[in-house]
Amino acid sequence: MKIICIGRNYSEHVKELGNDPNAEPVFFMKPDTALLPNRNHPVFYPDFTNNLHYEGELVFRVSRLGKFIEPQFAHLYIDSIGFGIDFTARDIQQTCAAKGLPWEIAKSFDFSAPVDGFRPLSDFPDLNNISFELKLNGVTVQTGNSRDMIFDIRRIIGHVSKYVTLKTGDLIFTGTPKGVGPVQKGDVLEGFLEGVPSIKVQIK
Ligand code: MG
């Protein structure tokens, strides 16, 4: 399986700035080794970064093989929604970006994509109105709603499947709202989907 992540998919100012209808979503991938082996496994703070950031995100699970999927049929290719944390070595990412290099290593390292709390699509009557929240040591640091995505899940699936065949079990991280920030060893992150506790991760 593969993990597909959408970059920069929320903007506070998108409405006032106007959305470019011709813009396309940016995506990158993480390997399956970015998942945690089980839900109690900690995320080890990598020794190659001094600025590990959380990014709380809605995650959609692919349920069918698909290529060139039309956006209006995209919901037929997903079966559940969970909460994921797209861990990012922000210092490495910024260094790579400044040099015009790919920032793969800032995103794809081991345990950089914990995900949990999957619930069936039928639990979410409106894909464009799903709320989520991330707490750091019990304090809310991010709140988001899928209605604020620049590219909704249908457009994401339509776009990605033009380039990459989607397979059963693939995961799509859909981008993070504002409020990203650093973690330290010992921190605990908790994600909530529509108020339901969905993931708990300890940094070690
Ligand atoms: Mg992200």
Q: How far is the CA of 68 from the centre of ligand 1 (A)?
A: 24
Q: What is the rounded (10 degree) CA torsion for 137, 13, 150, 85?
A: -10
Q: How far is the CA of 113 from the centre of ligand 1 (A)?
A: 10
Q: What is the pLDDT at residue 20?
A: 65
> What is the per-residue pLDDT across 109-141, written as a single tens digit (0 to 9) for each?
999 999 999 999 999 999 999 999 999 999 999
Q: How far is the CA of 9 from the centre of ligand 1 (A)?
A: 9
* Interacting residues of 34 by C-beta distance below 8 A, sequence separation 6+: 3, 108, 109, 110, 111, 112, 113
Query: In 10 A of CB 28, how many CB atoms?
Result: 17
Q: What is the pLDDT at residue 121?
A: 95
pLDDT of residue 13 exceeding 50: no
When the pLDDT of each residue in the chain is averaged and rounded to a whole number, the result is 93
Average pLDDT, stretch 85-94? 96
**Contact indicator for 197, 190 with CB cutoff of 8 Å:** yes
Torsion sign (Cα): 160, 111, 61, 72: negative
N- to C-terminal Cα distance for the chain? Answer: 26
The pTM of this model reads 0.94
Strands 171-173 and 3-7 turn out to be: parallel
Q: How far is the CA of 37 from the centre of ligand 1 (A)?
A: 20
pLDDT of residue 16 exceeding 50: no
> 3-state DSSP helix/strand/coil percent for the chain, to nearest 5?
20, 35, 45
Q: Which two tokens stand for residue 136?
A: 């750091």
**Cα separation, 12 vs 14, whole angstroms:** 6
Q: How far is the CA of 27 from the centre of ligand 1 (A)?
A: 10
Q: How far is the CA of 164 from the centre of ligand 1 (A)?
A: 19
Q: What is the pLDDT at residue 24?
A: 82
> What is the per-residue pLDDT across 47-79, written as a single tens digit (0 to 9) for each?
999 999 999 999 999 999 999 999 999 999 999
Distance of CA 160 to the CA centre of its chain: 14
**Cα separation, 38 vs 18, whole angstroms:** 42
Instruction: Return the closest-CA partner of residue 80 out of 162, 175, 191, 172.
Output: 172
Q: How far is the CA of 84 from the centre of ligand 1 (A)?
A: 9
Helices (H), the chain: 14-17, 90-98, 153-163
Average pLDDT, stretch 88-109? 94
pLDDT of residue 154 exceeding 50: yes
